[in-house]
Amino acid sequence: MTSPHPDGAAVFAVLGELLARGEAVALATIVGQRGSTPREIGTKMLVRSNGAIVGTVGGGAAEAEVCRQAAVVLESGRSQLLTLDFNGTLEQPGLGICGGSVDVFIESWSSCPPQAAPGPEAVGGAAEVVRAAVGALEEGRPVTLATVIDAEGRWAAAAGARILFGDRGPVTAVTAPEELMAQAALATVGPRPGPTAGTWVRTLTAGDGAAQARVLVEPLRPPEALLIMGGGHIAQPLAAIATICGLAVTVVDDRPGLATPARFPTARAVTADAASFLAQRLPGAETHVVFVSRGPAQDMAGLRALLNSAAGGYVGLIGSERRVWSVLTALRAEGVPAEQLARVHGPVGLALGGTSPAEIALEIMAEMLGWRHQSTGQERSARLRRRLLSPVAPASG
């Protein structure tokens, strides 16, 4: 399951808060990637005027260089496309020795009003663009931000233009010619120039060839959601870990003493009205569900509702093999198709040997993460370990 980088929505939320306070901020986004690198395309980092950062583009010397260049961008107001090379050696590490390189687009955001603009499109400052983006994401509506990195010819004045495309029409900060707006709109929905589902850069050319612009296209989607059915001991660390991993968490338990915000401070919502929740607020396609409830009756009630809903995410069910099998076979006897029941990961989690609530929660999150990224969960160290233990080839000659 591939999705745009999860940091994007969270970074924009912080960006909106800083702009609302009148602070100018540099936003660094990885827009190109070659070979092995610390972070992937779409990764974002904010650099404030005092040097503080939100997010990371990889850490180390490379990130320090991004921060230095961000200070220059904040001072000049001019965006910059920076290439970071990670092809150093142990003797001369440079910015890193991962073996690849990335392109980082650094732009200055401020709440200053934009230039006046004719035309029907809504025009606002950077703060308005961010507010519109954050508002859409909070309402569950995906949007796409197109930023003109640089432009030539009659489009030259559009350099720095930001255009937010969504279901309520475009919002812009800095005017863009209608011709460029139309091409940028097509670029946000057209074929992507690579396998990534996230950010990319596209070169647009006017019909007569007399103008050209490079546009950064960033799909922004609401964070994926996790519905935790049950508010017991495992639910608490699971909610915390899932929030750190970028999921919007809701906890449901019919015991009012357990379903409290105080026990789940990182959750977006906590409710003790389980019956109404299942009847009226079934999860959508981007929602994952984990059952850590107190008994089979609660599991079966939740699974009946869930497997008949539009929920398309990961589904996990805690319990021993005997308990899980009893629940699944009982539902099968009720007529629930085996194909739907096969979606359930139960007993939930990877077999890592954990026994405490926190360890079990980590096992659950690890399995969910592997499902989201279509990964087998193989140890990263396995290939190098085999190389270390393999016989050394005899010298030739």
Task: Render pLDDT for 81-101 as a digit per residue (tens, 0 to 9).
Answer: 889 888 777 766 677 778 788
Instruction: Please give the pLDDT value at position 27.
Output: 92
E strand spans, the chain: 25-34, 44-48, 53-55, 80-85, 101-109, 122-123, 143-153, 162-165, 171-173, 200-205, 211-220, 225-229, 248-252, 269-271, 287-291, 315-317, 344-345
Give the single-character DSSP code of 155: T
The domain defined by 225-372 folds into Rossmann fold (3.40.50)
pTM for the model: 0.78
What whole-number distance in Å separates Cα of residue 126 and Cα of residue 246?
25
What whole-number distance in Å separates Cα of residue 148 and Cα of residue 175?
11
What whole-number distance in Å separates Cα of residue 105 and Cα of residue 159?
13
The residue type at 150 = D
Hey, where are the domains in the chain?
Answer: 7-109, 122-220, 225-372
Instruction: Please give the pLDDT value at position 344.
Output: 95
Task: Render pLDDT for 234-271 as a digit per residue (tens, 0 to 9).
Answer: 999 999 999 999 898 999 998 999 999 999 999 999 99
What whole-number distance in Å separates Cα of residue 199 and Cα of residue 285?
22
The residue type at 142 = P
The answer to whether the beta carbons of residues 108 and 26 sit under 8 Å apart is yes
Instruction: Please give the pLDDT value at position 179.
Output: 85
Instruction: Please give the pLDDT value at position 146.
Output: 87
- Which regions in the chain score pLDDT beneath 50? 1-6, 113-124, 193-197, 394, 396-397
